[in-house]
A and B are shown apart, each in its own frame.
Chain A
Amino acid sequence: MTQQMTSPEHIEYVLRLGDNALILGQRLSEWCGHAPVLEEDMALANMSLDLIGQARMLLTHAGRLEGRGRDEDQLAFLRTEPNYRNLTLCELPNQDFARTMVRNFLYSSFQKLLWERLMTSSDAELAAIAAKSIKEARYHAQHAGDWVIRLGDGTAESHARAQGALDYLWPYTAEFFAATPVDDTVAAAGVGPAWSELETAWEALVLPVLAEATLTVPARTPFRSYGKFGRHSEHMGHLLAEMQIMQRTYPGAQW
């Protein structure tokens, strides 16, 4: 075990990755049985499963790094809200299919870049998780990107909904790239990139697709969100209340 060499920043970085996957996986699972067409029901369930699978590996790894005996479920279900480090974007309600697809596209494009870099992490376990997750992120970005184009360049209504979704979500993407001391430490140790380094590459991935979708990219505003620092939106508490109810109601029970 490498735990004696592990810095708190390293643990937080892995937790952040795990929490992104957990919280977006939870959101996508809400679609199950309610999607616009059966094929999308299955695709959304599949992507949710991929993300929950990533969350299980990452939270297990974070628990081992931490060395306090917390397993994936203790980390997933028994932390308090400020201890979740996911991006605010992941916790926002699904709203409609347009917002769900635009979010998946913005997020999975970012994940694609991140997993590519993490494949060469000095943390061998994280590198192995990245090698598996990159394939999933590529598929998610392809699937969501195709829908963003179809919706943006579809009917007047779908265009308006996709544009509305982009207008709503775009300000939250600034958080992806906000600099943090955690990232600096982790980057210096070769564990993973500082997320702020990925902004140019991310724009190069998403802007052409948004242009093909005939969507207008909003200008950056002073708005900032702080989920990855533990300060979440009002939506997070409700998501956690639902997700945690069994573990909170029956402490210590095995399921």
Chain B
Amino acid sequence: MYTQALDIPQQNTEAKGPRTIENPAYQAEFDAKIDAGGYIEAKDWMPESYRKTLVRQISQHAHSEIVGMLPEGNWITRAPTLKRKAILLAKVQDEGGHGLYLYAAAETLGVSRDELLDALHSGRAKYSSIFNYPTLTWADIGVVGWLVDGAAIMNQIPLCKCSYGPYARAMVRICKEESFHQRQGYDLLLTMMKGTQEQRDMVQDAVNRWWWPSIMMFGPHDKDSTHSAQSARWGIKRISNDDLRQKFVDATVEQAKVLGVTMPDPELKWNEARGHYDFGAIDWDEFWNVVNGHGQGNVDRLAARVKAWDDGAWVREAALEYARKHDARDSQAA
């Protein structure tokens, strides 16, 4: 699962952690390394704004992974076969693992997982809006794998070569698993499309609901994307939102034909001159409404995360208290 790093007008991007001393010599060294396509590592000097941008992007991505466990987790107990139940459970577990790698990558930038989670729980941090849409039928599980993970892969492959080493390395592992998830989702849908008319209708309905939100996952148009130029300069963003979106549409439309579903866009058609599919206008009001908390699932998703965290407080305290007692006993014994 994935988020595009998103600039939210009212978002507090102030992150705690080490403060960077600005230094022209270090800056020149950093710039040279970026220009040469090298990796910046955790111990290297980096400009404060680079660090902040990464903390924001990596933590949004991590939050998206763990919030993304909820819409798919919604179907684990109702999966139609044991094989599909095992596949889905393993997939959602992978998303949790991605969250772990990413929180660990963010921690190399001087923030703690607890601080980042606190930002999520208090609503200061964002996660990918796609997870605020509901999973209404079993076909949604296939479509989320195919379209949502498919969009994620388009976004993430360039990140495997992003300039920050710990993030790039986490993304290599994540991309391998995501591409597996996408194929599993597509396989689920192929099986349903070979089934009854009721099953095929279920798939088409899910495609109708997820298509537009999926292509919104690439974020605002390039002309409206305020931080993109700086991120490109830093090697954090290698391909623009619109280019990625076009690549996704071109690949997915062909897959839809094989599957036998149609996208809910009457303007979607091949443009011979451009060598790409043209598609209709994206409803950005819808996008910003969901980003700003007014989607169907925003309240429930965040509440579920907060509840899990609050309900687990006594467990985390018990583990710490047990460790403290044993440290004390061990030092007494020594």
Contacts and interface: CB of A to CB of B under 8 A. Distances in A.
Interface of A: 22, 26, 29-30, 32-42, 45-46, 48-49, 52-53, 55-56, 59, 72-73, 76-77, 96-97, 149-151, 153-155, 157-158, 161, 242-243, 245-247, 250, 253-255
B90 interface: yes
B92 A153 contact: no
Contacts of B188: 255
Contacts of A56: 82-83, 86
7 contacts: A34-B308, A42-B97, A53-B86, A76-B82, A253-B198, A253-B199, A254-B194
Contacts of B96: 33, 38, 41-42, 45
B209 interface: no
Interface stretch (B51-59, B224-232, B258-266, B310-318): B310-318
A245 B138 CA distance: 11
B172 interface: no
A42 B100 contact: yes
Given A53-B86, A250-B196, A253-B199, A42 B315 contact: no
A245 B78 contact: yes
B321 A155 contact: yes
Contacts of B318: 150-151, 154-155, 157-158
Contact of A39 (B82, B100, B199): B100
Interface residues of B, number: 49
Contacts of B233: none
Contacts of B321: 154-155, 158
B19 interface: no
B21 interface: no
A33 B69 contact: yes
A175 to B, nearest CB: 24
Nearest to B307: A34
A157 B317 CA distance: 9
B18 interface: no
Nearest to A161: B314
Interface in B116-172: 138
A246 B78 CA distance: 7
B100 A55 contact: no
A247 B78 CA distance: 9
A158 B86 contact: no
Given A33-B92, A242-B78, 11 more contacts: A36-B313, A37-B312, A41-B69, A42-B96, A52-B82, A52-B85, A55-B82, A73-B81, A73-B82, A151-B315, A154-B321
Interface of B: 66, 69-70, 73, 76-86, 89-90, 92-93, 96-97, 99-100, 103, 138, 188, 191-192, 194-196, 198-199, 304, 307-309, 311-319, 321-322, 325
A79 to B, nearest CB: 14
B72 to A, nearest CB: 8
Contacts of B103: 38
A77 B77 CA distance: 12
Contacts of B100: 38-39, 42
A32 B69 contact: yes
Nearest to A213: B322
A155 B80 contact: no
Contacts of B73: 32-34
Contact of A32 (B76, B83, B313): B76
B77 A255 contact: no
A176 B82 CA distance: 25
Nearest to A157: B314
Nearest to A52: B86
Contacts of A48: 89
A140 to B, nearest CB: 15
A163 B7 CA distance: 48
Contact of B80 (A149, A150, A247): A247
Please name the 6 residue pairs, one residue from A and one from B, whose CB atoms are nearest each other, closest first: A36-B312, A154-B318, A158-B318, A246-B80, A33-B69, A45-B93
Nearest to A153: B322
B308 A35 contact: yes
Given A154-B321, A158-B314, A253 B195 contact: yes
Contacts of A52: 82, 85-86, 89
Given A38-B99, A246-B138, A155 B314 contact: yes
Choose among B83, B89, B99, B191 the residue with the greatest number of A CB atoms under 10 Å from its CB.
B89
A49 B138 contact: no
Contact of B79 (A35, A72, A151, A246): A246
